[in-house]
Amino acid sequence: MAKVSMVEREKRRAELNKRFRVKREKLKEAIVNMTLSDEERWSAEQKLQSLPRDSSFSRQRHRCRMCGRSRAYNRLTGLCRIHMRGAVMNGLVPGMHKASW
């Protein structure tokens, strides 16, 4: 089980990302827009850098829905390898079964 503080930190990052997503996208579009002047693009870059660091999507980490584990995460199910194995063994994941040969 992940530490509660780490899970809460990820929740806060997700909330910040949701709050600043539109603003970040507009600023990024302004930065790459070559029709704007250099000063306007520079000011857009400065504004983007002044936003909270945790509002960036790349700062978020995927976590297991069951235990909060950040490593060995499976995007298909949203589970870590440990809980994924249990779900497959119980037949909860359609189309998957434990390999045996």
In a domain, 56, yes or no: yes
- Structure-block tokens of residue 101: 């040969």
Q: What are phi and psi of 34, to 5 degrees?
A: -80, -10
- Determine the structural domain holding residue 47 and report its residue range: 1-61
pTM: 0.72
In which element (H, E) is residue 51 found? none
pLDDT digits (tens, 9 = 90+) for 11-37: 999 999 999 999 999 999 999 999 999
In a domain, 101, yes or no: no
The answer to whether 2 and 63 have CB atoms below 8 angstroms apart is: yes
Residues 47 and 86 placed together within one structural domain of the fold: no
* pLDDT value, residue 50: 95
In a domain, 15, yes or no: yes
Return averaged pLDDT per consecutive 10 residues of the chain, 101 residues in all: 87 94 95 94 95 92 90 92 91 84 74
